[in-house]
Amino acid sequence: MLTRRHFTITAAALFSQPIASTMASARPTSDKSNWDAWDARITPANYDPATSNPWGLHRRFLPQRVEARSGLKVGDVHVDAVARYLYHIDAEGTAMRYGVAIAKGNLYEPGVYTIKRKTKWPTWTPTAAMIEREPDQYKQFEEGMNAGPSNPLGSRALYLFVGNRDTYLRIHGSPNPRSIGGRASSGCVRMVMAHINGLYDNVSTGVSAHLHPAEEHMTASS
């Protein structure tokens, strides 16, 4: 005889998984209709990259055109992790230099990467390692965070790959510009949002990003 228990077990086997479209959390979004307003919000009035400094940065971290060492490939990006500078090499034997913040402690990963993607007003999801390392800070965002001026990736992001593997390392804008010049991130290279907006327009996908060693790596190899 077929019992109620039989039907309960059978139904559980057939229908135990919820339908993803009705149960899954909504993916974080970036509303393009807000992009211009957000850009205006994070750009100082009468903005001049070389002089505008409402963030109170040391003047050396403001964008400057400098001479580039010969032999560097045009279009590439170099991060001097000791001085906290990012250089974008151009065709005139010069480079644009920006101030940056790099990762805390041993989270900074020197190496040569390829910029395979770049995004305006990106969404953000912390990695599993970040959540495990600092659950109080990151667990609440494990389903992702919508784009906007308070998003940790800020207004622009350049995505660093090794081959076809996304390293989850980024060069990105930061809603915490006062961190520039220090060590603050969980692996990425941070910039002032108004600064990376200018850099973003001039960086092409496919170029290399050279993340040079930080202080402790220099000491260890000397």
pLDDT over 70 percentage in the chain: 85
Is 219 strand, coil or helix?
helix
Could you report the per-residue pLDDT of 12-41, keeping only the tens digit for each?
443 344 444 333 457 899 999 999 999 999
Residue scoring higher pLDDT (208 or 6): 208
In this prediction, residues 194-218 reach a mean pLDDT of 92
Q: φ, ψ for residue 147 (rounded to 5)?
A: -65, 160
The pTM (predicted TM-score) of the whole model is: 0.83
Distance between CA 94 and CA 122 in Å, rounded?
30
Q: What is the mean pLDDT of residues 119-130?
A: 89
Structure tokens at 197: 């907006």
- Of 138, 158, 194, 150, the closest CA to residue 175 belongs to 150
Give the residue among 145, 151, 169 at the shortest CA–CA distance from 159. 169
H-helix or E-strand spanning residue 183: strand 183-185
Which token pair is 19?
């339908």
CB burial string 34-70: b at 16+ within 10 A, e below: eeeebbeebeeeeeebeebeebebeeebbbeeeebee
